[in-house]
Structure 1
Amino acid sequence: MIHREVADGLERLWNVRVNCIWEADESSRHGEVYIFDHVFKQECTNSDVYGSVVKPLVDSFMEGFNATIFAYGQTSSGKTHTILGNKTDPGLFQLVSNQLFQHVADQVDKRYLIRCSYIEIYNEKINDLLDKSNQGLTIREDIKGNVLLDAREAVVDNVDKVMENMMQGNKIRRVAATRMNERSSRSHTIFRIILESKDANQKDGPVHISYLNLMDLAGSERVSLTKAAGERLKEGANINKSLSVLGNVIRQLSEGKEFISYRDSKLTRLLSQALGGNAKSLIIGNVTLAAEEETRSTPEFAQSTKTVKNKRK
């Protein structure tokens, strides 16, 4: 639990066993059980998550697949820590960069060019986090239907330069204090790594290009918990709307629908090729262990919790 949850004396809401989680229920032994591909207990580190589920995806990226990694969850549940980590527990971003440049160093028969871009979606407006002057970007499509965005792309040739671009972008990313989190992300961010490779022995040989998207999604919010008002309320409404559209798109894809509503939000439109194209995707759902006392004591809590759990599933 984070410091605020401990200070408020909040109780642990979720129980974990193997790859199952269930919500603690005061009236019975346990609530409804949800099964996932992997469940990592609070004792696990980002490196544990990386080795189990992220590394195979990055391997595919370096073989030519497009890949997307989402950090998803309620505000204050640890999404940004999953992506960025800290000095003692490096985040997925650092671990991906380490693996990428180790791979490049090992492949002596290939030549590589690596670029990166960093954008945020704030109140349905796309801003370039690597260029302050490049704000309000417009999404375009080429004749093949590929989504294009005129964001700055920086050439990088080592891990330190990748980290410098990430830190530069984070300085202007929208964050704010809320009742739930002292530094709540108020925007979705997409850090994209573009990998170009070709045979070192062929001067005019084919160039292979693949994309890796690292996504730190802004946390879903309930006004009753955040007590948001004014600008924070507007931000929360846009965050929840775009996350709802993302959920709808993923459901439509999983059900094999002919029409996919990518255009209902800028987030899903930007990710249309990553979600439904020649790509591999990983969603890391961050779940806070704590429950707010005031919501647990209200008659509406049981029904609202059931709705939220269904959405999480």
Structure 2
Amino acid sequence: MSDKIKVAVRVRPFNRRELELATENVIEMNDSQTILKYPATLDKMERKPPKMFAFDHCFYSTDPVAENFASQELVFKDVGRDILDNAFQGYNACIFAYGQTGSGKSYTMMGNQENKGIIPRLCDELFASIAAKQTDELNYKVEVSYMEIYNEKVHDLLDPKTSKQSLKVREHNVLGPYVDGLSQLAVTSFMMRFFDASLES
């Protein structure tokens, strides 16, 4: 594991409202660099110089016909696969998706049936790797939890009885932080419909 933390940024396509407003695209991406251009002003004054930002990964997902278009598969290849490889080497890992409502977090992480996101792709490869590695002497056990943090409250998305109740985050003197009462289910495969139902709850 070369880096402890990697930061990736992704730009989504325009939504219907943005298209109706003829919104100007002010973002360009080139490898690990994101360029933010100032939009043209009504008085047609000269634009301010663009701002440039560097990240570990920049995913341009605005235009599918663009040469540098970043598909769901590419995002997983560059971000998700390292997470899985490191997990098999004994490292804990976390993917933190951050952005305002409508910015594309759910699509990037979960996707849909036609374009799977990071989580279903990671799970598919996880269980495929387990099937290839497992022997009579070596067994694997996979448990899953699924929670939502919203307005500083934690909800269990896998337990309908407690999904509306706020769970407490506590600190263990050896294991560190944990969510008290969060369900952990043993699984042997990834069930997209199950997660779809959780997202709708």
TM-score, normalisation: structure 1: 0.51
**2:53 counterpart letter in structure 1:** Y
Candidates 70, 78, 85, aligned match of 2:111: 85
- The whole-number CA distance in structure 2 between the counterparts of 1:128 and 1:19 is 36
- The whole-number CA distance in structure 2 between the counterparts of 1:49 and 1:68 is 15
Change (3 A) 1:106 1:93: same
User: 1:292 aligns to what?
Assistant: none
> What SS is found at the alignment partner of 2:56?
coil
Q: Which has the higher helix share?
A: 1
C-alpha contact 2:134 2:140 (8 A) present in aligned 1 = no
User: 1:36 aligns to what?
Assistant: 55
Q: Return 5+ residue gaps in structure 2 as ranges.
A: 1-13, 41-45, 62-68
Which has the higher relative contact order, 1 or 2, with Cα contacts under 8 A spaced 6 or more apart? 1
Change (3 A) 1:9 1:165: same
- What displacement does 1:83 show? 0.7
Give % identity: 29
Pair 1:120 & 2:148 matched: yes
Pair 1:139 & 2:169 matched: yes
**1:34 counterpart letter in structure 2:** F
- The whole-number CA distance in structure 1 between the counterparts of 2:175 and 2:130 is 31
Moved over 4 A (4+): none
Q: Return 5+ residue gaps in structure 1 as ranges.
A: 173-313
Change (3 A) 1:154 1:145: closer
C-alpha contact 2:35 2:53 (8 A) present in aligned 1 = yes
- The whole-number CA distance in structure 2 between the counterparts of 1:157 and 1:32 is 47
User: 1:19 aligns to what?
Assistant: 32
TM-score, normalisation: structure 2: 0.77
User: 1:156 aligns to what?
Assistant: 187
1:78-227 equivalent positions in 2, closer than 5 A: 78-109=104-135, 110-134=138-162, 135-144=165-174, 146-149=176-179, 150-160=181-191, 163-172=192-201
C-alpha contact 1:130 1:168 (8 A) present in aligned 2 = no
> What SS is found at the alignment partner of 1:140?
strand
- What displacement does 1:47 show? 0.6
> What SS is found at the alignment partner of 1:141?
strand
**1:4 counterpart letter in structure 2:** R
| Count of residue pairs brought into register by the alignment | 170
**1:92 counterpart letter in structure 2:** I
- What displacement does 1:74 show? 3.0
C-alpha contact 1:114 1:157 (8 A) present in aligned 2 = yes
- The whole-number CA distance in structure 1 between the counterparts of 2:59 and 2:196 is 27
Change (3 A) 1:168 1:153: farther
C-alpha contact 1:22 1:30 (8 A) present in aligned 2 = no
